[in-house]
Structure 1
Amino acid sequence: MGSTGSIGNSTLNVIEANPGVFSITLLTAESNVDSIFNQIKKFKPKYVYLNDDSSSKELNSRLSSENLKTSLLNEKDYLDTIASNDVEIVVAGVVGIAGLKSIHKAVSAGKRILLANKEAYVVAGELLNTLAELNESTIFPIDSEHSAIHQCLSGKKDTSGGVKKIILTGSGGPFLNRNLKEFIHITPEEAVMHPVWKMGKKISVDSATMMNKGLEVIEAKWLFKIDSEKIDILVHPEGIVHSLVEFEDASLLAQMSVPDMKIPIAYGLGFPERIRSNSQRLSLEKIEQLNFCKPDLKKFPSIRISRASLDSGGTSPSLLNAANEEAVRAFLDKKIYFTQIAEIISFVMDTIPIKTVKELENIFQADTLARKSALTRIHQLRS
């Protein structure tokens, strides 16, 4: 899911590096007809789905003109295919809450899910955990930090035995060493230029605000069933150590590699075996130094806001996520300043009452309310 994005393309590269191991049943994307058409010709999936109607019509025409056998699905059939026996592994690479419905479907059907969509676990972690246990679904994180923790825990997701804390690392983004007084002048073009990773625009801005780390704290709490006070964040500009686990015996385990999403994807696809990632290997003798420091919460208030949201529980993380998505979109569209992203999120969190999450609909309702509130605040800031 999300085959034309960064995660999708990296996944296809790993599959290509392991010929004869995997076959592709379904590719999905939002609207990128050219990219998914080239993927169809190369990987020959049984089915394809595009979320955008006009793009779907264009793709259907191109499939017919070249007499390709891949079937174009509507939304219902696409969701049914995820749950069908044709599918064993689902790679969730769709950004934002847009991927939640399909992830929920895959978990309900007991699939093995490779989760790059951290927002799904942020807003519905407890719900998805309950559903996964009920349907014997296995969820593998394939963002580099949570994959690293999974590996440090020897492929387990149980932190009850001897784990003192987990430490999420992050590069600090492109503005780590920029003076806070200059943050108001940050442009979208600067914010998407990540110093270590090549990613999509939204997640690049999240890295620049360090909201990415805040969301990862919430995700880690549910993925590894660990108390939030046992989750630390360290800034690590080199992006070599992807996360660490400290144990009660004072041992500290770290997972290291070059910063390449193909590595955690290969880990998730092949587990418990190790398969080829088609990535460069880490040369330790070429590393002069590795640096670590605590994040500056004055520069990056999103971390504090995220932790407060986790402590509040219920629909609070849904409000956080939706407000952030709208604020980031407004920043990328040059409607607000970089420093106003956190301000908008705080406004929404203070405005919308928190409700208990009993079902998926509670999350979608909170999401809708938060987006309306965020857009109202964006309009106020512009006028």
Structure 2
Amino acid sequence: MSEASTAPSSRGERPGEPRRIVILGSTGSIGTQAIDVIKRNRDRFRVVALAAGGKNAALLAEQALDLGVEAVAVARATAAQDLQLAFYAEAQRRGYATGDYKVPRIVTGPDAAAEAAALDCDVVLNGIEGAAGLTATLAALRAGRTLALANKESLIIGGDLVTGLAAPGQITAVDSEHSALAQCLRGGSAAEVRKLIVTASGGPFRGRRREELADVTPEQALAHPTWAMGPLVTINSATLVNKGLEVIEAHLLYGIPFDRIEVVVHPQSIVHSMVEFTDGSTLAQASPPDMRIPIALALGWPHRVAEAAPACDWTKAASWDFFPLDEKAFPAVGLAKQVGQTGGTFPAVFNGANEECVGAFLAGRLPFTGIVDTVEKVVAEHSGGGVVTLEAVLEADRWARARARELSSSG
């Protein structure tokens, strides 16, 4: 079993001082919740830099001035002027006189997040969405930073490229499922682990047969019953592609073979994952569906952050349900396991094709069931192999997206 999430997060820390944090994707769901945790624990954490796409300059400026960061990185080079104006407007709103506030250094361009990831800090929280987070993940690992990983795609498509760079304990899991597994794995040795059980809410279409999914609309698919997430992750949760990606991530983080990783549907989303041990016992991690809990643990690993979010209320009656996964209606998990076992650049193809297909579905060019069907066709056409390099991964991603566009347009 890998020690990716089982060792202290202490590289480069200054004893007695707050951990220095860089947040990538600060204006997104993960980033804003991380900032909430950090602002309530300023004795433990200090944000030194933020990175975002640049679409929400006003929020980014507000975050930067609230946290007193040293640098802000935006992917869109044209966003620099917007950000400067947003800083001025936010300063005026706070009653600052002109020049009486410190403007952070602004870094722009497609490599801006990677530059931020290599800044002097203790922990890089990668909350960038999709394959775009890969270069930042690699930059953080090369710089020796602890990587709090919410951007599962970068680990999945990078595969050996990422795990080969990571030292033991350098990656801490932010996904609630993988955080749960890391906590449960503390209960036994690697030799005592029989299987990992990853829970899934089942999304908005739990219990439906495949033929009942053909006419699903984007509005229906975006209405997740439990979590508030961005459109890509929400659609991935509806198709269960997200769960397939999490199975690959669990394998890469903890070194458990795919045939010993199972998915079970748990609609309440209270048990976030489980570990079954060889003596027949199973450890489960339970908490309300609030991402601030796994985010706080990833930032503070191996130590917990008090009052990160409210706990379960054990004074109220509750029941938890568990159902087997209907792989006929939701074939994404089985396909992801095949892709993960094949390895190479196949996970990059799976992920890239899916991101394109989700976009096609949201634009009305592809039916809901066509998302995974098209991804399966693209994967079947791929012939990638050999050593995984950054160039090979990026080329596989480009090819998969182009082929998925062709198939979704012709369909």
Band of TM-score, shorter chain: over 0.9
1:178-327 to structure 2, matched below 5 A, reads 178-327=208-357
Decide whether the 8 Å contact of 2:198 with 2:274 is kept in 1.
yes
Distance 1:81 1:320 in 2: 28
Equivalent position amino acid for 1:189 in 2: E
Whole-angstrom CA distance in 1 between matches of 2:370 and 2:152: 23
**1:28 counterpart residue number:** 51
Q: In 2, distance between residues paired with 1:78 and 1:182?
A: 42
Report the TM-score when normalising by structure 1. Answer: 0.94
* Counterpart secondary structure, 2:135: helix
**Identical pairs, percent:** 38
State yes or no: 1:373 paired with 2:407.
no
In the alignment, is the contact (CA less than 8 A) between 1:262 and 1:277 conserved in 2? no
Q: Could you give the per-residue CA deviations for residues 183-211 of structure 1, whole angstroms, max 9, x where no partner exists?
A: 11111111111111111111010000011
Secondary structure, counterpart of 1:239 in structure 2: coil
Q: CA offsets per residue over residues 171-229 of structure 1, 9 Å max, x none?
A: 00000033432211111111111111111111010000011111111111110011111
Instruction: Tell me the equivalent position of 1:128.
Output: 162
The question of whether the paired residues in 2 share the 8 Å contact of 1:109 and 1:137 is answered with: no
1:287–1:265 distance in 2 versus 1, CA, 3 Å: farther
2:136 is aligned to 102
C-alpha RMSD of matched pairs (Å): 1.7
1:150-171 Cα shifts (integer Å, max 9, x gaps): 0011299xx7321000100010
- What is the letter of the counterpart of residue 55 of structure 1? A
* C-alpha spacing 1:149/1:287, structure 2 compared with 1 (3 Å): farther
Q: What code does the residue aligned with 1:359 have?
A: T
What does residue 47 of structure 1 align with?
Answer: 71
Farther off after superposition, 20-29 or 322-331: 20-29
Q: Is the 8 A contact 1:170 1:236 kept in 2?
A: yes
User: CA distance change for structure 1 residues 205 and 81 in 2, over 3 Å: closer, same or farther?
Assistant: closer
Deviations 1:27-68 (A, max 9, x none): 111121121122112112111011112323211233356444
1:138 aligns with 2:138: no
| Structure 1 segment 62-141 matched on structure 2, within 5 A | 62-63=86-87, 66=91, 67=99, 68-75=102-109, 79-84=114-119, 86-133=120-167, 138-141=170-173
Q: CA deviation at 1:81?
A: 4.1
Q: Partner residue of 2:33?
A: 10
Q: 1:158-177 alignment to 2 at 5 Å? A: 160-177=190-207
| CA contact 1:14–1:276 (8 Å) conserved in 2 | no
Gaps of 5+ in 1: none
For 1:225 and 1:276, how far apart are their aligned partners in 2? 30
Are the equivalent residues in 1 in contact too, given 2:62–2:87 (CA < 8 A)?
Answer: no
Bigger drift between 3-12 and 61-70 goes to 61-70
| Deviation of the 1:277 alpha carbon | 4.5
Q: Decide whether aligned partners of structure 1 residues 51 and 81 sit closer, same or farther in structure 2, where only a CA change above 3 A counts.
A: closer
Q: 322-331 or 286-295, which moves further after superposition?
A: 286-295
Higher helix share: 1
The one-character-per-residue Cα deviations of 1:279-317 (angstroms, maximum 9, x if unpaired) are 121013424211111110111011121111112211111
Count of matched residue pairs: 376
